[in-house]
A and B are shown apart, each in its own frame.
Chain A
Amino acid sequence: MQELIKRITELLENGEVQRVVGWKKGDLGYNPEPAYFETAEALKDFVYDGFCGANLSKYMIKACELEGKTLVLLKPCDTYSFNQLIKEHRISKEKIYVIGVGCKGKLDIEKIKAMGIKGITAISGVEITDECDTINIETVYGNKTVAYKDAMLERCHVCKGKEHKVYDELFFDSADTDDGDRFAGVDYIESLSPEEKFEFFKKELSKCIRCNACRNVCPACSCRKCVFDSTKFDADRKANVDPFEESMFHIIRAFHVAGRCTDCGECSRVCPQGIPLHLFNRKFIKDINAFYGEYQAGAEVDERSPLTNFTFDDLEPGERR
């Protein structure tokens, strides 16, 4: 960790970058926050551990409007979102210095709490330089240990791989965490009857409080003005009097990010009501793979997305492959 901080300090001090966007230590052992660091002194609060799940690529839209170059820390999966933003001309690589950081899977504090662990005062074993095998948790109700992988975010069990798709420098080793089936959830829903599907989504989406956290965190939701932020629209960003959230909002959003969603999983990570929003996106990804051949948004900057491309091989409406 000291080496990384030393390198970042060097880049800051020699003027190569004007600021750093990374994660700042939290106050509960599991709540680091995305932060701007502009001086070497500020870096004393820098952290990179298992709870740094936040994908910092979207912060680059704002950073690119600032004077000079910004250094950003990206995990392997974040680099897909970063590439996608470049592809969509929302950010410019010339303005950004990317340090790719290794990843041993990111943690979900909700999973730890769901194990009945509460009153947490300290957590250890989650530094990127740790084994990341067992998490030690001190609480006011006694000490606990949890297997690292049992506390990992769903998305890390279906990891796209630990290779950074874009970087200027790399730090830290990664650990393979892919032990799940990426499309198992979609397969399950596909196996349901239309009535059961409707019931499933109605139950999940009726929890929506229309906080828009999913939209705001989403790197693919980068419109300058979102349609849902229009005051002239009946269904703008607040809770409606009809079940709009249940029936429309998330579906519209999923359609809008189809073919551009990298499956970074931030929507599900931030949802305060635990709605598995990634399922929508994965359904689109699965279908795109089936209809147009395997495609991973953000893997390449230069290739065309199947949904914005045309080939004579394309499926006709209603045709299946």
Chain B
Amino acid sequence: MKKISKGNLIDLVALMAENQQVYLPVKANGETNYARYTAGAEVDIDTLKTVKSAKEVFFPQSETLYTVVTEDKKYKITQQELQKEEFVLFGVRPCDVKGIEVLDRVFLTDPVDTFYKARRDHGVIVSFACSEPEESCFCKVFGIDCAEPNADVACWVKDGEIFWKALTAKGEALTEKCASVLADADETAVDTLKSDIRNIVEKLPYMNLSLEGWNGEVTDEKFNSEIWETLYKPCLACGTCTFVCPTCQCYDIKDYKTSNGIQKYRCWDSCMYSDFTMMAHGNNRTTQLQRYRQRFMHKLVYFPKNNDGMYSCVGCGRCVDKCPASTNIVKVIKAFMNEEAGK
């Protein structure tokens, strides 16, 4: 275990940034999101949840895949370069770390997504325990312990100090690079903090949420429930929940016309949008009820069905915080809980 005064955080970040890119929560115009560190950036590790999750560092909202340029009546195709340099992703909360594990299931299984894999191979993740969990958090429901980060390096903030513990070989290597600003610390220094965090977690309003009945085997039962008819009604069909979500992974691939060719790019898609999964024959989901249902069925039924029971929700609560109509996955789970109880 190592430590550094929180007041010297920028020294640590600047040192890391000397020989690699560092992505971390930065506050800009009032909102905190992941961004590449540049000198003078307002680093913000106090905000519990960035608006967008850490997924965008590995899976950006939009990225060019290749470009085509017409030259002398010939096409010249240039593939976008893959990530080649090592980088640090700093300040990630345990729920977002789990979110990345979910994305790995999608992008690292055959066929492997080379753009995603290149970033995963070169990224070192430094995760921070959640000293002060908030009311919209329910990561524990999905088996996450926000007092015990599980990444290359785990960090805790306590009494104005950041405690640092390497958990993997990548983490050890990063620790060595930062040795000049890190001091030795006692392994037990954060024990009381961990139990304090766990005590707070137990008091949070969503701790009674039960996932009983949600698994890969209940497609027909859940799909055909009449509850969806009521649940989807407030939905505005915007993409907020899908874009702030650390596990939503759907994307679209499109052409952007340039003056002399095209840029082939991909961008986050949203199952809330009416052209989602639009194909040549048309669209297999024509109503908002169907699209709304898709999102939750995917997280709680289809994904576990195809991934050894792993849910594709991590309980970060961003949809709870951000849905403009205050509908969200918690309300969906609760509605089914009440339905079961009423039977």
Contacts and interface: CB of A to CB of B under 8 A. Distances in A.
Given A35-B234, A54-B326, A139-B135, 5 more contacts: A213-B324, A240-B256, A241-B62, A241-B267, A272-B51
Interface in B33-77: 33, 48, 51-52, 61-64
A27 B330 contact: yes
B177 interface: no
Greatest chain A CB density within 10 A among B132, B200, B256, B325 is at B325
Contacts of B183: none
A242 B233 CA distance: 34
Contacts, number: 142
A213 B238 contact: yes
Interface string A114-151: 00001111000000000000000001110000000000
A273 B31 contact: yes
Interface SS of A by simple majority: loop
Contacts of A294: none
A272 B244 contact: yes
A239 interface: yes
B122 interface: no
Given A234-B257, A272-B240, A140 B61 contact: no
A238 B267 contact: yes
Interface string A231-251: 100101111111000000000
Interface string A203-215: 1100101111101
A36 B230 contact: yes
Given A231-B278, A240-B62, A27 B205 contact: yes
Nearest to B256: A241
A33 B326 contact: yes
Contacts of B320: 28, 31
Contact of B29 (A139, A203, A269): A203
A274 B28 contact: no
Interface in B104-142: 132-136
Contact of A34 (B62, B200, B233, B269): B233
Contact of A207 (B29, B269, B273): B29
A209 to B, nearest CB: 5
Given A32-B326, A35-B233, A121 B135 contact: yes
B274 interface: yes
